[in-house]
Amino acid sequence: MIVVMSQEATPEQIEAVLRKIESFGLQTHPIYGVQKTVIGVIGDDKTKVVETMAGYSGIEQIIPILKPYKFASRETHPQNTVIDVSGIAIGGDKIAIMAGPCAVESREQILNTARLVKMAGGCILRGGAYKPRTSPYSFQGLGEEGLKYLAEAREETGLPVITELTDPRNIDLFCEYTDIIQVGARNMQNFVLLTEIGRSGHPALLKRGPSSKIEDLLLAAEYIIKEGNLNIILCERGISTFETYTRNTLDLSAVAALKQLSHLPVVVDPSHSVGVANLIPAMSMASIAAGADGLLVEIHPNPNAALCDGPQSLDFETFTNLMHKLRKLAAAIGRDL
């Protein structure tokens, strides 16, 4: 259930409504908008709110929310949420291109990549410092040293950085060094991790699990939002199907569906979706045409020598050419890059 306050409602009236709802043993989650305040109500028995507060001073409307994801739903928040990440708006007219290597391998590698991303027109640098790998013997990342290299790249280029957090015990470290915390597909339903990110208030990119429904992704986002953190970017990265030619099957219908169901920005990771470098440019173009607010693309100065995900990494020349094409496509659909 949500309680919509009128545009003229005073701070005192909003506070009085919050206290009254809480007196019924219910939880309140106010969302303070530019024009109106919306109060989310969580609890088992909300009938008292409807029965006693319909004419309460400052209340415009009381709306039941039938979907299980209350705060991620567009019913609760009709306007698109635009997330500000160090001056970069994600979810508005401008398309955000996040690019970089799967893993930070060295200081030289990440600095050179950051310079290229900046020069090509990308706005956010990606790179894995801690790498959860299927095999315990594969390269696991540089850890805190990798975070420091990312921070140095940000200092030189001005690009905000995004990297994956796998252990909730490292939340403070990531808030110090990164601008966006990435929740990988394997951790989409790591509810302890999601709760800690929610409490941190730090911007987060939440990837869809390979066997997860759209509703599962939105419920995972709900774990973050219920802690008061609305700074969430949803990410479609392909799902597991019977097809084996590509690494996963890119579900572009999810982009359109998520934009209808939720107010949160949606980006696509074409690299993990297909796992084949020569398919990534076409899937990137298709993602933007489907309405994605950005891309998360893996690039590497020498994909053949990459310590992880080389086959799905674009080289610098291919990425630069892709950016030229994306710029034209964005203009054609009334957006900017």
Give backbone dihedrals phi and psi of 24, rounded to 5 degrees, phi first.
Answer: -85, 5
142 and 55 housed in the same domain: no
Predicted local distance difference test score (pLDDT) of residue 283? 98
Per the domain annotation, does 77 fall within a domain? no
| Distance (Å) of CA 266 to CA 67, 95, 113, 259 | 19, 10, 24, 7
Range of the domain at 42: 2-63
Predicted local distance difference test score (pLDDT) of residue 1? 84
Per the domain annotation, does 135 fall within a domain? yes
> 96-100 and 294-298 as β-strands: parallel, antiparallel, unpaired?
parallel
In the chain, which residues have pLDDT < 70? Answer: 34, 133, 137
Helices (H) and strands (E) in the chain, counts: 11, 14
51 and 100 housed in the same domain: no
172 and 265 housed in the same domain: yes
Predicted local distance difference test score (pLDDT) of residue 140? 73
Per the domain annotation, does 155 fall within a domain? yes
214 and 293 housed in the same domain: yes
107 and 43 housed in the same domain: no
Rg (CA), the chain: 21
Per the domain annotation, does 95 fall within a domain? yes
234 and 138 housed in the same domain: yes
Instruction: Determine the Cα–Cα distance for residues 337 and 328; give it in Å rounded to an integer.
Output: 9
7 and 143 housed in the same domain: no
52 and 88 housed in the same domain: no
Q: Provide the CATH number for the domain around residue 8.
A: 3.30.70.1140
The model's pLDDT over 173-196, given as tens digits with 9 standing for 90+, comes to: 999 999 999 999 999 999 999 999
Instruction: Determine the Cα–Cα distance for residues 167 and 177; give it in Å rounded to an integer.
Output: 15
Predicted local distance difference test score (pLDDT) of residue 133? 67
12 and 149 housed in the same domain: no
Q: Which string of DSSP letters, residue by residue, matches 26-92?
A: -EEEEEE-SS-EEEEEESS--HHHHHHHTT-TTEEEEE---SS-SSSBTTT--SPP-EEETTEEESS
17 and 119 housed in the same domain: no
Q: Which two tokens stand for residue 78?
A: 């009709």
Q: Which string of DSSP letters, residue by residue, matches 138-191?
A: S----THHHHHHHHHHHHHH---EEEE---GGGHHHHHHH-SEEEE-GGGTT-H
Predicted local distance difference test score (pLDDT) of residue 42? 82
Predicted local distance difference test score (pLDDT) of residue 82? 96
93 and 56 housed in the same domain: no
Structural domains of the chain, count: 2
The model's pLDDT over 50-101, given as tens digits with 9 standing for 90+, comes to: 888 888 889 998 888 778 888 899 887 888 999 999 999 999 999 999 999 9
Q: Name the amino acid, one letter, at 251.
A: D
